[in-house]
Amino acid sequence: METRTSAQWEKFLNRYYLGDVLALANEYPENRSLHVDFVNIEKFDMDLAEKLLEHPDNILNTAEDALRNFELPIDKTLSNAHLRIINIPQKVKIRDLRSTHISKLIAIEGLVRMATEVRPRIRVAAFECSGCGEVMLVTQSSGKFVEPYICKNEGCGRKGPFKIKLTESEFIDAQKLRVQESPEDLRGGEQPQTLDINIEDDLAGIVSPGDRVIITGILRSYQRITREGKSTFFDIILDTVSIEIQDKEFTEIEITPEEVEEIVKLSKNPKIYEKVVKSIAPSIYGYAEVKEALALQLMSGVAKNLPDGARIRGDVHVLLVGDPGIAKSQLLRYIVKLAPRGIYTSGRSSSAAGLTAAAVRDEFGDGRWTLEAGALVLADQGIAAVDEMDKMRAEDRSAIHEAIEQQTISIAKAGIMATLKSRCSLLGAANPKYGRFDPYEGIAQQIRMAPALLSRFDLIFVLKDEPDIGRDTAIASHILGAHHAGELHAHRLNVPGSDITHKEVEDAMEIVKPEIMPDLLRKYIAYAKKNVYPILEDDARERLIDFYLGLRRQGEDRDSPVPVTARQLEALVRLCEASARIRLGEKITIEDSDRVVRIVESCLRQVAFDTETGMFDADLITTGVSKSQRDKIRVLRSIIRDIEAEHSGMAPKEDVLARAEEQGFEKEYVEEILGRLKTQGELYEPASGYVRLT
């Protein structure tokens, strides 16, 4: 049996891999791996292929022996070569691994979350008997170090002591990985499960955290050891046979020719832009401009590699700042579902790597340093949605800068030197520190984010939960409409003989139904990102330059720092590219630049518009409103607060005016500010002649 399979493998290698074996022989020993496609084994001998899956230890040994003893025309033997099986048809999801998989050859797919340093592992240890000098070789399988029990020299027979001889021992490079499930395999909000992986020899050190891999290997189990001793429970680990690193961008989304046809047809619809925007989180009412921005973010601009080696990111970064209770987190979760590769996390995530990356000690219990990828690395070539960015860790605060501009994360700690890729769009959400957004303080202070980091976002939205009867009515009817649709659906589904018709449910669902179903939209986005590279037309370019110069000019006669930087111009171009991609357009037209100018203007108005001068001032993003105005309003607010305290919560307007005049305010100015505070919902009149801050 054994010899038969050995001869069989020899025949197989000769028939399918002769050229590859000869090529390997030329490069040996630098290259030690022969990759064998499982499909070829199936073609050669179905029975052998099946046995390989069922009893991989024996079969692979025989196969590897056949390779190592292969008769070569040159004077070489491939004595340490490996046969690496790739392309096993069925992949097992990490969460579906069961005891039936133990000792079988399986393939799993996922993201490398952690990788240890590569360190030598002793494979064959040489021991010298101190009594007689006899040298014994003991093969070390993974885990516990095994020493000889008794000297094998019959004339000696002592039970030690034995001295290890390193020069005569055999070492092999070894590494451990922790792989987690791919984001697209997770159903909304599930925590990804992980699997630990053993890697040896030439496979060690070839992958980095953040890489997307298919790993073929033999699943092992080992007994858990608890304080009480050996447990009846076993843990699992995969011994690697082969690693395939996948092209991360487009692997996971398959688009059939029929779907391509549908996508192209859809793109020709004159209302395609509105359709895409309306398909983003339709269950959330309003926020039309935010949804537009998110549609542009999903499409993203074009990344450019310049001749001097520099790279300009195409990814669009968006930040949502706002009061609690508005649908920020819901929007984030929806985008993660739509994005071809999306990862949702919180700024205060519990993992050591947080948003960027970390070097941690002893993660696998063997004292080695491990490099762990954080969310921005795991989301490489996708979207990272980070909630509660105001709560991110200090380490992330310093590292995130490089991560979102250079789109790499560098780690240099304890002998680990690595640069991980983080080419992702960042969709951040942050809560102001006082709970509600204070228009009289800079955003930077309110969400504890460095001004330089803030300036890296292409678009910043401030979402305020302001009472507005028209809007509130619309939201209320939208929410109740959505609930009503859900009730009808549940009734029809669960109540026997329900008199609610299919049509009634369909009609009610209309208000929450996306114009383009999420599955198709995801494919639409993937198709656009892969195939569409729009080019700026002359009039569109002029429009952008005019807008940009206009903003710059506004800062000219003021002594404040330059209001708008060239970075904003780059953002404009990115957003225009994304806008053209929405209709799969090859050209960026004036409509694209008009649209982008409108969105950017409205963002600037929220975060960088000086109402006193009527000018944009990007400096306001970082410092709040112009200093003089802010100080005045501060003083006024504290006057009101003081008087409120003196009059059990209601401040007589007369008193406010009088005390403000004492402090040098003109009466008209105070009236004006009170009026503005009122329209902004920060002040109201609980009774005629009285004011109160909200």
CB atoms within 10 A of CB 208: 17
Q: Which is nearer to Zn ion, 130 or 663 (CB)?
A: 130
What is the phi/psi pair of residue 339, to 5°? -65, 140
CA 487 to CA 348: how far, in whole Å? 36
Q: State which residue, 131 or 286, has the beta carbon closest to Zn ion.
A: 131
Query: Of the ranges 44-52, 132-140, 321-329, 530-538, which one interacts with Zn ion (CB under 5 A)?
Result: 132-140
In the complex with Zn ion, the residue whose CB is nearer, 132 or 645, is: 132
Identify the helix (H) or strand (E) that includes residue 261: helix 257-267
| 284 part of the interface to Zn ion, by CB under 5 A | no
CB of 147 to Zn ion, least distance (A): 13
Query: 135 or 569: whose CB is closer to Zn ion?
Result: 135
545 binds Zn ion (CB under 5 A): no
Q: Interacting stretch for Zn ion, rule CB under 5 A, among 153-161, 362-370, 462-470, 553-561?
A: 153-161
CB 129, min distance to Zn ion, A: 3
- Share of the chain residues as helix, strand and coil, in percent rounded to the nearest 5: 40, 25, 35
Are 263 and 582 in contact, with CB atoms under 8 Å apart?
Answer: no
CA angle 229, 231, 237 (to 5 degrees): 115
Long-range contacts of range 593-598, CB-CB < 8 Å, 24 or more positions apart? 593/540, 593/541, 593/543, 593/544, 593/547, 594/543, 595/273, 595/292, 596/296, 596/544, 596/572, 597/543, 597/544, 597/547, 597/572
Please give the structure tokens belonging to residue 631.
């100080």
Q: Which stretch binds Zn ion (CB under 5 A): 120-128, 155-163, 242-250, 659-667?
A: 155-163
Q: Tell me if 153 contacts Zn ion by CB under 5 A.
A: yes
Residue 156 CB, shortest distance to Zn ion, in Å, is 3
Residue 113: which of 200, 204, 211, 188 has the closest Cα?
A: 211
Site for Zn ion contains 160 (CB under 5 A): no
Contacts of 451 (CB under 8 A, 6+ apart): 442, 444, 621, 622, 623
Q: What is the DSSP track for 538-581?
A: HHHHHHHHHHHHHHHHHHHTSSSPPSS-HHHHHHHHHHHHHHHH
DSSP string, 65-109: HHHHT---SSS---TT-EEEEE--SPBPPGGG--GGGTTSEEEEE
Between 165 and 489, whose beta carbon lies closer to Zn ion? Answer: 165
Cβ closer to Zn ion: 153 or 194? 153
Q: Does 131 bind Zn ion (CB under 5 A)?
A: yes
CA distance 192 to 452: 33
- Kindly identify the residues of this chain, within the stretch 575-594, that bind Zn ion according to CB under 5 A: none
Residue 410 beta carbon to Zn ion: minimum distance, rounded to whole angstroms: 53
**Cβ-based nearer residue to Zn ion, 168 or 468:** 168
The C-alpha atoms of residue 356 and residue 404 are separated, in whole angstroms, by 10
Instruction: Tell me how far apart the 2 most distant CA atoms of the chain are, in Å.
Output: 112
Q: Under the criterion CB under 5 A, does residue 126 sit at the interface with Zn ion?
A: no
Is the distance from CB of 183 to CB of 341 less than 8 angstroms? yes
Do the beta carbons of residue 25 and residue 72 sit within 8 Å?
yes
Closer by beta carbon to Zn ion, 146 or else 150 = 150
Tell me which of 156, 264, 517, 566 binds Zn ion, using CB under 5 A: 156
Choosing from 10, 64, 109, 134, the residue that interacts with Zn ion (CB under 5 A) is 134
At its nearest, how many Å lie between Zn ion and the CB of residue 164?
15
**Min separation Cβ 128 and Zn ion, Å:** 9
The number of residues that bind Zn ion (CB under 5 A) is 7
- In the complex, the smallest distance separating the C-beta of residue 168 from Zn ion, rounded to whole angstroms, is 16
Residue of 105, 112, 151, 338 that binds Zn ion (CB under 5 A): 151
Closest CB to Zn ion among 136 and 172?
Answer: 136
The region of 30-38, 130-138, 263-271, 325-333 touching Zn ion under the rule CB under 5 A is: 130-138
**Least Å from the CB of residue 146 to Zn ion:** 18
Complex with Zn ion: residue 159 or 634, whichever CB lies closer: 159
Q: Does 129 bind Zn ion (CB under 5 A)?
A: yes
Counting contacts by CB under 5 A, is residue 452 touching Zn ion? no
Whichever of 161 and 686 has its CB closer to Zn ion, that residue is 161
Which residues, including other chains, have CB under 8 Å from residue 47's CB and lie 6 or more apart?
none
Task: Pick the closer one to Zn ion by CB: 132 or 312.
Answer: 132
CB under 5 A: which stretch of 122-130, 232-240, 309-317, 344-352 binds Zn ion?
122-130
Stretch that binds Zn ion, among 60-68, 94-102, 145-153, 196-204 (CB under 5 A): 145-153
Does residue number 132 form part of the binding site for Zn ion (CB under 5 A)?
yes
Hey, what are 462's tokens?
């401030």
Cα torsion at 42, 47, 53, 56 (round to 10°)?
Answer: -110
Binding site for Zn ion (CB under 5 A): 129, 131-132, 134, 151, 153, 156
